[in-house]
Amino acid sequence: MRLASFRATRAVVGSVLLFVVAVLLVATLMVRDGYRTAVANSEGQALRFVAGAEAAVNRNLLGVDVLLASVDSLLGLANLQRDWIDGTLASRLIQGALRQNLLVRHVALLDDKGQMLASSDARGAELVLATPPNFVARALEQVVAGLSISVPVVNFSSSEQVMYFARPIRLADGSKVLAIAEVQVSLLSSILVQGVDIEGLETTLERGDGQLLASAPAMDSLSGTLLKPPLGGRNPLDGATQMPARLSGVDALVVQRKMLYHDILITASIPMDTVLGEWRRESWLVAGVSTAFVLMLLGAGAVALRYLAQMAQAQRSISQAKSTLDQALESMESGFLLLDAQHCVLSWNRRYLEIYPWQREHIAVGIPFETMLTATSRITLPQADAEAQRQWVQDRMALLHKRVHSHERHLPNGHVIEITERTTPDGGVVIVYQDVTHIRRASAEIEQLAFFDPLTGLPNRRLLSDRLQQAVMASARSGRKGALLFMDLDHFKTLNDTLGHDVGDLLLQQVAQRVSACVREADTVARLGGDEFVVMLQDLSPHAMEAASQTKIVGDSILAALNEPFSLNGVVYRSTSSVGATLFGDALQSSSELLKQADIAMYQVKSSGRNALCFFDPQMLAAIEARAELERDLRQSLAVGEFALYYQLQVSDESLPMGVEALVRWKHPTRGLVSPLVFIGLAEETGLIVPLGEWVLRTACTQLAEWARQPDRADLQMAVNVSALQFRQDSFVDLVRTTLQETGANPERLKLELTESLVLDDVQGTIAKMRELKALGLRFSMDDFGTGQSSLTYLTKLPLDQLKIDQSFIRNLGEQAADAVMVQTILGMAETLDLEVIAEGVETEEQYYFLVAHGCHLFQGYLFATPLPIEELEALLNSKQIVA
């Protein structure tokens, strides 16, 4: 065995090493080939570039040469002498010829002494060229007329580097003149590049001795200098050479070509970093992949070696397996029994005989399992006859044919045994016997905790919901009614807070006992939590009225029992409860719906004085659902902007418009125009009045700012109602200040209307906040004055500007003398306190004349105008038909 393991290990190691060497060899070849390919590709790219650049530069230089040569025929110089040349005419003709060549800036004609005869420049013979020293003389000395090219020089008139191209022309008398062209070096550089984008490319136009004429990128500092080494003696067909770049000197591939014109070269240099950049990345990739392969091979070899080691270990472990298995079976907490395909015993453990001690005298290898079951039937079914015991054995044997099966047996000693049977591949059966007595007892305790209240022992909400749902279905089938009583102890929180939770728990336990004593055994008493109890009555009369009467009898009995005094740790305590009731049985209703109905009825009792029973009225639910729907619509409308401001005019006793009161209206898409009486109270309760109030204030201030730009509206005042909740916001003053700043409204035209209840809740805090707002320039009016708890004590402290007499007093003028006296009193008090007074709700002329007669000067009501949208209000103001 050891020799075979050694051979296998050697074979694995040899194979892995062979594969590693192969991978490394392939990687090396790929890197070498990649290097050659990268250099060849870059060399080809450089050669193609130089060929194109050579053609472009040759073409442009040839164009310059042709242009200069054409000056002879253009001016007819071969038939002229120096003095016969007309400079003005010659300059004009040269200008015309220059338009055909975009490379040349100027073309000029010089005599043999370098004097300017004519030029393409507008200055004509006045043009000054910046030719290098001796360039003109050398160009004129040529025996055979050809193109001379200067070194780059700086033209100081344009501050640019230029080069000069010159060609001599012989006159009729044998003397010479020189046609010379000025070319910008930057244009030659752009021709060199040809728009090609090669990373790091350097290209030059130079002489054979290395003198730099033009380059890209442009290197003005090197223009005219000698680049080393000179390339004039090299064969241009040698291809690319790895050498320093012509401009930067970095290691590069350099390619050169000779131009048409003598001793002019064009070169291209591609840095080796660019040439080998992609090759280096690919080399790293190859190296990474090769490393990964090598690691994988080494890993696979390690795994294989480990596997071989494990196989060897497994072989050694097999010999120990049986003894270990036997020990494990004996140490199991569960009983174990193994049967063969014929259901005869093969093996068992100690725990099995502890569970079935009577089997000690029967068990043996090869004994049929049916024989053992027969012995068990006599012990576990001692009262049954022989036929019943035999039938039990047959039923038990039938279970063995199921592939996987689990069941429980209760032994005479009270233990519960869970028996799990699984078939083996060869048709045998493995049977495991697990003592689950403690688990079943724990489950029973958990069920008690899950479905019953631990304090009172009553069913909890979960069990109640289940029983209630079953009761509803049973009532629907039988036609008999059922009822649900929802009870809540009155002032239970006070008891907890004063005497402690221990005493509160004692009260809940005694309440549970008393309520349970008032109902039948078939009925259910449950505790939902806190001080809430529910009683479910079943099998009541099929007639609703009679069932309600039966329910009321039980409810009254419960109320009477709970009204009796309780003894709580020596403390005598009297308690009451509120009971809501609802019937069920007419339709299939959910338990949550029934509990909701009974809860609503109970809260109706709470609101009516407590200690009573009230049946659920569907109108209660309808009202609650309608309120909930209204609240949803209110939130949505506030989000999408379905509110509008209406304005009710306020006029003087001379029928002049003095201002308006901003009144919010709700334009609901299906409800239509909703009155504030419907939604303002709900907005107050839900807190939506705060964002709604902010919108009203901003809209009103925006309108004030609009009126300020109209001379006939600029003096109108805007009254805005402020809710108590909105006014008490810590940020209210900042909100008003910000709104005024952002809208541009005049604060002196804004009047905030407060209610007496708002002021009385926190007089000092209200006064402080009013003074902050007064500092901004705002005015204040006391709305609905006379309906609250008005007193001169706080009225004299408040920084008020106006009192608004409530319309309830105005409405009864002429009908109730007390209201007339109240109005006169308010007017007199306001005059004493130097406060302005406005009467709202003025609807008749009699009311108006009474108020005028007693000193009221401002009015608001239907007699003058109803609340109007801004368009109709503007139309009314324009008509000037406001009369009392």
At 140-160, the pLDDT tens digits run 888 777 788 888 888 877 778
Region 780-793: mean pLDDT is: 69
Average confidence (pLDDT) over 227-253: 79
Tell me what pLDDT residue 448 has: 58
Instruction: Of 91-95, 371-375, 409-413, 680-684, give the lowest mean pLDDT range.
Output: 409-413
> 795 near 833, Cβ under 8 Å?
yes
Tokens of 270: 């591609």
Q: Going from the N-terminus, what domains does the chain have, and what CATH number goes with each?
A: 18-289 (3.30.450.20), 332-442 (3.30.450.20), 452-608 (3.30.70.270), 643-879 (3.20.20.450)
Model-wide pTM > 0.85: no
Tokens of 392: 């039990």
Residue 339, burial from CB neighbour count under 10 angstroms (0-12, 13-18, 19+): buried
- 662-677 pLDDT per residue, tens: 999 999 888 888 888 8
Binning pLDDT at 50, 70 and 90, where does residue 734 land?
Answer: very high
Position 49 pLDDT exceeds 70:
yes
Whose CA is closest to 408, among 399, 417, 400? 417
Positive or negative, the CA dihedral 308, 313, 314, 319 is: positive
Give residue for tokens 């020189």: 178
Give the span between the Cα atoms of 66 and 543, in whole angstroms. Answer: 125
State pLDDT tens for residues 164-195. 999 898 888 888 888 999 888 888 888 887 76
SS3 93: helix
Q: What average pLDDT does the structure give for the chain?
A: 84
Q: Which residue has the higher pLDDT, 535 or 784?
A: 535
Compute the average pLDDT of residues 853-870.
92
| Side-chain half-sphere exposure of 782, counting CA atoms within 13 A | 29
User: What's the pLDDT score for residue 450?
Assistant: 66
* Percent of the chain topping pLDDT 70: 92
Residue 117, H or E segment: strand 116-119
Instruction: With a cut of 80, say whether residue 253 has pLDDT above it.
Output: yes
With a cut of 90, say whether residue 381 has pLDDT above it: no
What average pLDDT does range 89-112 have in this prediction? 83
Q: Which amino acid is at 251?
A: D
Q: What pLDDT, on a 0 to 100 scale, did the predictor assign at position 318?
A: 59
- DSSP, collapsed to helix, strand or coil, labels residue 805 as strand
Q: If pLDDT is split at 50, 70 and 90, which confidence band does 322 have?
A: low
Helix (H) or strand (E) holding 646, with range, is strand 643-652
Task: Summarize pLDDT for 68-95 with one digit per residue, the tens.
Answer: 888 888 888 878 888 788 878 888 888 8
pLDDT digits (tens, 9 = 90+) for 556-596: 999 999 999 999 888 889 888 999 999 888 777 888 888 89
What are the start-end ranges of the H helices in 76-184?
A: 87-98, 135-140
Evaluate if residue 620 carries a pLDDT over 80.
no
What's the whole-number mean pLDDT along residues 223-251?
79
Beta strand ranges found along 760-880 (DSSP E) = 779-785, 802-805, 836-840, 858-860
128 pLDDT band, cuts 50/70/90, is confident
pLDDT at 18 over 80: yes
Distances, alpha carbon 421 to alpha carbons 139, 410, 431, in Å: 117, 17, 5
| Model pLDDT, residue 881 | 61
pLDDT of residue 405 exceeding 70, the answer is: no
| CA atoms of 742 and 744, how far apart (whole Å) | 6
Distance CA 171, CA 656 (A): 107
7 pLDDT above the threshold of 90: no
Q: Is the pLDDT of residue 731 over 60?
A: yes
| Stretch 360-381: mean pLDDT | 80
Residue 608 has pLDDT above 60, yes or no: yes
Write the pLDDT tens digit of every residue in 429-477: 888 887 777 776 666 666 656 678 888 889 988 888 888 888 888 888 8
**What is the total residue count of the chain?**
884
pLDDT at 363 over 70: yes
| Range among 6-15, 264-273, 349-358, 769-778 rated most confident | 769-778
C-alpha dist (Å) from residue 341 to 237, 303, 336, 420, 741: 94, 40, 17, 17, 96
Helix H segments across 796-835? 807-811, 817-832
pLDDT attached to residue 120: 83
269, containing H or E segment: strand 264-271
Percent of the chain with pLDDT over 90: 22
- Residue 652's pLDDT is 92
**Would you state the pLDDT for residue 624?**
58
Q: What per-residue confidence (pLDDT) applies to 449?
A: 63
- Scored b (16 or more CB within 10 A) or e, 200-223 reads bbbbbbbbbebbbbbbbebbeebb
Instruction: Flag whether pLDDT at 234 surpasses 80.
Output: no
CA-to-CA dists, residue 485 to 15, 525, 592, 624, 813, angstroms: 86, 9, 14, 20, 52
The answer for residues whose C-beta is within 8 angstroms of residue 862's C-beta and 6 or more apart is 842, 843
Q: What is the pLDDT of residue 123?
A: 78
Query: What pLDDT does residue 866 have?
Result: 93
